[in-house]
Structure 1
């Protein structure tokens, strides 16, 4: 399975940087306002499964998009996207299931439906994501929030 073909992928953040993000640098009010601006930009729909807020889902989450440069050991904040609860929980499936926010089988079902793949293909993707997470946990990352923070 080519990961470039997946609409929805698991993105496990390294343990050392899990809480080093824009959301934790802003007040609750600032994050809510920022999140609402992102939702408006995304036309109040999930950027992955395209369900619409107020129609097929109750709310959207603001998801931070990260890239990792292992050569310089920097984790870059590259943008944001509106995601429904299920898509957002798949992105962070380890954290979501660890905190009992949702049943894992529901996330697997959503992943398979959105990506039009089998449970076996999900299992392979999950395995690959965990291996990447383990490798990234060996690195001392520097977090770059870019122009989003002054």
Structure 2
């Protein structure tokens, strides 16, 4: 029994007896935090070390489903906790995800690419859900994103990375993150602009 307990951290979430669905769901980043991640805030060398460590810890398999992608096995996903009272986004860790699971997590990007049907089907498969249950989860994530994106004073806490890996944010990190945020917002405006008189999600968010 002790050996089984010791192995649990290495078992994909989908197959762990101590976990229940949802094993996988959309986790959308508020608009004011777009572009603010370890890739922007740390040196390339430090980010590479953290993400490759996540791959190694998972045996280059997805931490959610245990699968691997056809082109590259896994991708790094930052896990964040959001405090809606203090509006602080806190990094809790970095894990390895296969491209299919990663697409569900980054629902907004997946939707903009027109691949939401495939991601919805994968969310159904992994969680053992019906189409209605998966759709409800995606809709809830979108509503939560709207609520959180209504505030521009979100702060980002990456102390997990600085503590666990002894890294230091680069001096230009904040400027890089801000530039990326503006670029992403501009692309969203261009892609989700008003069509046939309908106001888009992004326009509603930015009060245009």
Unaligned runs of 5+ in 1: none
How far is the alpha carbon of 1:29 from its aligned partner?
4.4
What's the counterpart of residue 67 of structure 2? Answer: 51
Does structure 1 residue 115 correspond to structure 2 residue 131? no
Does the aligned pair in 1 maintain the 2:28–2:105 contact within 8 Å? yes
TM-score, structure 1 as length reference = 0.86
How far is the alpha carbon of 1:86 from its aligned partner?
0.8
Unaligned runs of 5+ in 2: 1-19, 163-167, 169-208
Q: Deviations over 1:60-91 (max 9, x none)?
A: 11100000112211111111110000101100
Q: Alpha carbons of 1:5 and 1:147: their partners in 2 closer, same or farther (altered >3 Å)?
A: closer
Does the aligned pair in 1 maintain the 2:92–2:160 contact within 8 Å? no
Cα distance in 2 for residues equivalent to 1:141 and 1:15: 10
Relative contact order, CA 8 A, sep 6+: which one is greater?
1
Equivalent residue runs for 1:63-102 within 5 Å: 63-98=77-112, 100=113
Query: In the alignment, which of 30, 37, 41 is matched to residue 21 of structure 1?
Result: 37
**Residue 45 of structure 1: SS of its match in structure 2?**
coil
What's the counterpart of residue 150 of structure 2? Answer: 138
What's the counterpart of residue 148 of structure 1? Answer: 161
Tell me which protein shows more strand as a share of its residues.
1
Moved >6 Å (runs of 4+)? none
**Residue 108 of structure 1: SS of its match in structure 2?**
helix
How far is the alpha carbon of 1:108 from its aligned partner?
1.2
TM-score, structure 2 as length reference = 0.63
What's the counterpart of residue 74 of structure 2? Answer: 60
Cα distance in 2 for residues equivalent to 1:92 and 1:49: 16
Tell me which protein shows more helix as a share of its residues.
2
How far is the alpha carbon of 1:33 from its aligned partner?
3.1
Cα distance in 2 for residues equivalent to 1:117 and 1:94: 21
**CA radius of gyration, larger in:** 2
